[in-house]
Structure 1
Amino acid sequence: MPPLSKDVVIVGSGPAGSAYARTIRREWPEARILMVEAGPQILPELGAHLDNIADPEERSALEVKAQGGDRNRRPSISKEEWEARRAGGFDASMLRRSGLFIANEADPSESLFAGFSAANVGGMGTKWSTGCPSPSMAERVPFIAADALEAALCEAEGLLGVHKDPRSGDQTAIKLRERLGAAFNEGRSPERRVRPMPMAVTPTAEGVTFHGTDVIIADMIGEPEDSFVIMAETVCRRIIHENGKATGVELCRAGTDESWVVNAATVVVACDALHTPQLLHASGIRPEALGRHINDHYIVSQIAEMHDEPPMKAMSWIPATDEFPFSVTIAPTSLATMPKPPELSGQPVGMGVFCPSDISAENRVLFDETRRDWRGLPAISIRWKQSAGDLERLDKAKATGLRIAEIIGRPAPGFATIVLPVGSSLHYQGTVRMGETDDGASVCDRNSRVWGFDNLYVAGNGVIPTMTATNPTLYTVALATFGAREIAHARRTV
């Protein structure tokens, strides 16, 4: 039997890979697309969001299936760990999430990196918060024309189904935004003022329906298999290439060694910021910058107490600007994993002050050829260390969180301001970063095409080359549209 042949093979089924598929389909209707996913299909609907499942036990059981080769439940937080979290200390329960990647474990107070990656059809698109804020000008790629990137961000909003104010009738949230605006809006352009958090949701009478990658690929789901198909529980072990041209991929069923080859005119690697460089490394594609510059924003977590009535339901956002480097999300919280202290009488409101960290080529992902992970690829480890600039910004972020808590009501009694380990946001970036020129400091060009290759592209948060504080999903999907259009326009004319 001859090898299967496709016009485009996309490795990874998360938001970036799905955006490639949808954009290519729109620009190149006859393209034959194969999407490869190492994890299982955990829901009947391809890539649907888990938070739409009302039963918490059912949802929890499905989340376990998305944890890759280590499918164990995360143990519940202990009393001692909860007390440590409340007091602003180190909470070891955060390191027990299955599938976790940990760096510098011996020094958790300063240089810990704790990341996680889902493995299921839809990738992290089945689990994400659905927040879709847009990056500030300082966070945007400087070598992509401003108008072109703005148009791509608008296109990404359409792909994700973004709603700018999904709980528009929440009067308590509106009043809070007015108070926050009085403190933070001066000098800001209208689009960077305090506002509702844009979210990839559909408002309903009961609340909202969360969007997963099912919304991105939409009616592609019903296409004939020869036109579009997602191969679940299928691992890509290697990109086959010769003389700067990818010719196919070597695939196998997860947990087996039996492999086969799919010929491909174009390959897009959209695993995530950890597994995309892993696959390139395993394939012998090892540019100098591969895996380097791993970067994430810290989350400074602050619980506030609100006495406004009725209780708030909506999420609010204080955008980052050139002068204000933090992206702040504010939303009701249930404190479901922690006992509610008796001195807390009002509504608990959670706050995340997202704080950028410095970019360094020495912060990197490493691959161990002597050990294999559950995919059969070189095992991943992470080297990361915070900088003096990180510490300075964190002090300012903590002060900002306390200031906002006073505007909300007051800092919740019994809860300290805490800094989550970098990586906890799951927004890590930079490991396959784009660059303006092939100078050894980047892996791909502005269209995410790997330097030195004609038809190999990378996708996901890993391509972002800048310091960021803002949730990167919208940004990542926007950048994916550049590469997808280049593929469609180049290949359909061949």
Structure 2
Amino acid sequence: MSEDFIDVVIVGSGPTGSAYARIIRRDWPEARILMVEAGPQILPQTGAHLDNIADLKERAALEVQAQGGDRTPRIPMSKEEWEARRAGGFDASQLRRSGLFIANESDPAENLFAGFSAANVGGMGTKWSTGTPTPSQVERVPFIPADELAAAITVAEGLLGTNKNPHPDDQTAIAMREKLGAVFNPGRSSDRFVQPMPLAVTPGPNGLRYHGTDVVLGPMVDEPAESFQILAETACRRVVYEGSRVTGVELAHPGQDDTWFVAAGTVIVACDALHSPQLLHASGIRPQALGRYLNDHFIISQMAEMHSDVPMQAMSWIPPTNDFPFTVTIHPTSFTSITRPDGFTGQPVGMGVFCPADLNPDNRVTFDDSKRDWMGLPAISIQWRESEGDKARQDYAKQTARKIAEIIGRPAPGFATIVQPVGSSLHYQGTVRMGEKDDGTSVCDRNSRVWGFDNLYVAGNGVIPTVTATNPTLYSVALATFGARQIAREGRQRQAA
């Protein structure tokens, strides 16, 4: 693809950037689209999911390549750290998540924000859990008509390739869900009953094939470069604009000073909730809400012991409702040789209770213009503090986790109910949030167009403005379809004129 003029430049190659590309291509077939990715192409298949690689050593080596500027292999958890975690204490392995880690306190056990960002073609689409549960009504954007958002969610399910019941014959999981349903289903609508976790997967004779952005992009991965191209190992240093119109992007190879300019009709910043505001800040685009309202749900982890003669394979889901604020995921897990405690004779079952956090404009991403990261952009820091309401909900979530464990079998002996550091879900939101009007509390409108600009959009979990407890990928892809349709519509109108 030549560097003269591109109809649409997408910065970031994750699920929402890929969704923009696919919907724009559907509605505007002639559009020339360029996708920019700071990280490398780590797999032969564009944007494929790493979990499809059976060889764990090979997978781990590729994950290191997706860590951006920090490609230090992760040190495994030690026995001492594992025992500390089992006992409910803080273990230092939580500070060794591969990739970007940001903490704002000298005491890492207090107000730690554990952030991570993938940098590779496919973004987090190469690493995500593939969970695609639908957000509850209270989690949805209130100023988007309900029928429009429901239709967008259906489109997003198609883009991601959601399977509502990947293990339909798992009798152990079915029996467990029946027991849980007897307690949690009364008073719920049928779509919010205890159910299989929807996953973006394709079942096959050798197990599940996990969907990455290769599935979202579909046939676009085989298009000629003149029509669609992904520039790997290319950082966007700046979005260039004149007045209310973006004119293009300034690009560079990470670690190099030389830059080049690509003229663009529209630019979509689809990095992530940490790096999208970073790029806007570096570009001098700094609305009052930029980087603020950083939000994530806490994860309360509980190990349960189930007694069943048949191993469970399926993941299950207790959805949130207006009266039940948590998303609960229940899944089979396993022990290593050093971790099974005495007296534990049944199946280990893992559980994560996603617990929502209060919105706070002072929980935010900040940037240091005097320091540069590996991409040559202002260094990121996090300001985060949990509220008293957050602490109360965590206590309620712990009680809920233990109650569920009792229904499944019993809380696993020797395992405490623990709260993972906020950020561990990798579901952070709100930093480029959408709003109903430009009143200083949002960055973009309901179609994700940045306030004050005609042709600049943002994408990703960062646009979500509400308090959530649900895995957000399906939600953020659904929101991306509104902006993509608008870009395609306006592009066709310009061509016709």
**Is TM more than 0.5 here?**
yes
Q: How does 1:45-444 map to 2 (within 5 A)?
A: 45-336=45-336, 339-444=339-444
**Take 1:143 and 1:92, find their aligned partners in 2: how far apart are those partners?**
42
Secondary structure at 2:379's aligned position in 1? strand
| Contact 2:67–2:100 (Cα < 8 Å) also in 1 | no
Residue 3 (structure 1) shift: 4.3
State whether structure 2 residue 34 is matched by structure 1 residue 34. yes
Q: Is the 8 A contact 1:315 1:329 kept in 2?
A: yes
* 8 Å contact from structure 1 (residues 133, 198) kept in 2: yes
Q: For the residues of structure 1 that align with 2:280 and 2:338, how far apart are their CA atoms?
A: 41
For structure 2, list consecutive stretches of 5 or more residues without a partner in the other structure: none
1:406 match: secondary structure: helix
- Matched residue SS, 1:225: coil
Output the amino acid matched with 1:23.
I
Q: Distance in 1 between matches of 2:425 and 2:146?
A: 27
1:20 has 2:20 as partner: yes
Q: The residue matched to 1:263 in structure 2 has which SS? A: strand
* Matched residue type, 1:376: G
Aligned-pair CA distance for 1:103? 2.7
Q: Is the 8 A contact 1:329 1:351 kept in 2?
A: yes
Spell out, residue by residue over 1:299-333, the C-alpha distance to the aligned partner (whole angstroms, 9 max, x if none): 00000011112010000000000000000000001
For 1:337 and 1:442, the matched residues in 2 are separated by 50
Query: Are the equivalent residues in 2 in contact too, given 1:354–1:469 (CA < 8 A)?
Result: yes
Cα distance in 1 for residues equivalent to 2:244 and 2:343: 64
Q: 1:206 Cα shift? A: 2.2
C-alpha distance in 2, partners of 1:471/1:357?
14
User: Residues 142-179 of structure 1, C-alpha deviation per residue, up to 9 Å, x if partnerless?
Assistant: 00000000000000000000000000000000000000
For 2:309 and 2:407, the matched residues in 1 are separated by: 15
Alpha-carbon distance, 1:79 to partner: 1.9
- Give the residue type in structure 1 aligned to 2:169: G
SS class of match (1:477): helix
CA contact (8 A) 2:4 2:263 kept: yes
Q: In the alignment, is the contact (CA less than 8 A) between 1:3 and 1:260 conserved in 2?
A: no
8 Å Cα contact 1:82/1:338 also seen in 2: no
Q: Do the aligned residues in 1 keep the contact of 2:114 with 2:422 (CA within 8 Å)?
A: yes
Deviation by residue 1:422-470 (Cα, 9 ceiling, x = unmatched) = 0000000000000000000000000000000000000000000000000
Are 2:270 and 2:459, in contact at CA under 8 Å, matched by a contact in 1? yes
Per-residue deviation, residues 191-211 of structure 1 (Å, max 9, x unmatched): 001000000000112221000
Deviations 1:27-83 (A, max 9, x none): 000000000000000000000000000000000000000000110111111222111
SS of equivalent residue, structure 1 residue 491: helix
Normalising by structure 1, what TM-score? 0.99
- SS of the residue aligned with 1:179? helix
Q: Give, in whole Å, the separation in 2 of the partners of 1:98 and 1:473.
A: 21
What is the DSSP-based 3-state SS (H/G/I as helix, E as strand, rest coil) of the residue aligned with 2:260?
strand
Q: Deviations over 1:192-248 (max 9, x none)?
A: 010000000001122210000000001101111010000000000000001011100
RMSD over aligned Cα, in angstroms? 1.2
What's the offset of the Cα at 1:108?
3.0
- Compared with structure 1, are the counterparts of its residues 150 and 2 closer, same or farther at alpha carbon in structure 2 (3 Å cutoff)? closer
Tell me if the contact between 1:363 and 1:385 (Cα under 8 Å) persists in the aligned partners.
Answer: yes
Report how far residue 257 of structure 1 moved. Answer: 1.3
- Give the SS at the match of 2:445: coil
| AA at the equivalent of 1:363 | N
Answer whether contact 2:70 2:100 (CA < 8 A) is retained.
no
Query: For the residues of structure 2 that align with 1:27 and 1:38, how far apart are their CA atoms?
Result: 27
Contiguous gaps of at least 5 residues in structure 1: none
Measure the CA separation in 1 of the matches of 2:405 and 2:362.
Answer: 36
Conservation of the 8 A alpha-carbon contact between 1:179 and 1:407: yes
Q: How far apart, CA to CA, are the structure 2 residues paired with 1:320 and 1:107?
A: 33
Alignment deviations for residues 316-366 of structure 1 (CA, whole Å, 9 cap, x no partner): 000000000000000001234962223211110000000000010000000
- Once residues 318 and 60 of structure 1 are traced to their aligned partners in structure 2, the CA distance between those partners, rounded to angstroms, is 31
For 1:166 and 1:88, the matched residues in 2 are separated by 33
Aligned length: 494
- Aligned mates of 1:14, 1:402 — CA distance in 2: 35
Equivalents in 2 of 1:418, 1:335: separation in Å?
18
Note the C-alpha offset of 1:105. 3.1
Q: CA deviation at 1:485?
A: 0.2
Cα separation, 1, equivalents of 2:122 and 2:337:
26
Q: CA deviation at 1:4?
A: 2.6
Letter of the 2:201 counterpart: V
Contact 2:296 2:429 in 1 (8 A): yes
SS in 2 for 1:59: helix
Q: Distance in 2 between matches of 1:251 and 1:34?
A: 12
The structure-2 alpha-carbon separation of the partners of 1:125 and 1:484, relative to structure 1 and needing over 3 Å to count, comes to same
Higher alpha-carbon deviation: 201-210 or 9-18: 201-210
Which SS does the other structure have where 1:101 is aligned?
coil
Is residue 367–residue 378 contact of structure 2 (8 Å, CA) maintained in 1? yes
In 2: Cα distance, 1:97 partner to 1:182 partner: 38
